[in-house]
Amino acid sequence: EPEVTQTPSHQVTQMGQEVILRCVPISNHLYFYWYRQILGQKVEFLVSFYNNEISEKSEIFDDQFSVERPDGSNFTLKIRSTKLEDSAMYFCASTGNSPLHFGNGTRLTVT
C-alpha cells in the first residue's frame, strides 16, 4: 500500500535556526497537510495545500512557517527561526478522495 514518507524521523536544532521538514505524499493525492503534536497535547492542524497554494492555515501557522512543493513529489515545511515551543512531532498527510493518510512524523527538538 502506498505510504506518506517523512524525513528525517528526528531533527535536533538550536533555537533561531532554520529547519526544513520533508514529506513525500502519496503520488496521486491532491491535498497535502501539515499537523503537529506537542508532547502530551492534541494533534493540531497547521496548514493545507492544494493546487500549488495554501488553501487553509491555522493561527499557529504564522510568518515563520512556510510550505512548498518544489517538485512533483516533495512537500516541505520550513520553520525560519525555530523557538523552543516549536518542539513537537510534525506529521505530513495527504489525500485524494479518501481519508487522510499520515506519515510517521518528524520529531523536532529545539534546544
Partner 1 sequence: AQSVTQPDIHITVSEGASLELRCNYSYGATPYLFWYVQSPGQGLQLLLKYFSGDTLVQGIKGFEAEFKRSQSSFNLRKPSVHWSDAAEYFCAGGIKAAGNKLTFGGGTRVLVKP
Asked whether the beta carbons of 76 and 49 are under 8 A apart, the reply is no
Tell which positions 87-106 bind partner 1, by CB under 8 A. 91, 93, 95-105
Asked whether the beta carbons of 46 and 40 are under 8 A apart, the reply is no
Exposed/middle/buried for 49, CB within 10 Å: 0-12, 13-18, 19+? buried
**3 state DSSP class of 85:** helix
State in angstroms the smallest separation of the CB of 52 from partner 1.
Answer: 15
State in angstroms the smallest separation of the CB of 105 from partner 1.
Answer: 6
State in angstroms the smallest separation of the CB of 67 from partner 1.
Answer: 14
Tell which positions 39-68 bind partner 1, by CB under 8 A. 41-45, 48, 50, 56
Asked whether the beta carbons of 28 and 12 are under 8 A apart, the reply is no
Q: Give the Cβ contact number of residue 14 at 10 Å.
A: 8
Taking CB under 8 A as the binding criterion, the range among 13-21, 31-39, 69-77, 78-86 that sits at the site for partner 1 is: 31-39
Binding-site size, partner 1 (CB under 8 A): 27
Contact positions toward partner 1, by CB under 8 A? 4, 6, 30-31, 33, 35, 41-45, 48, 50, 56, 91, 93, 95-105
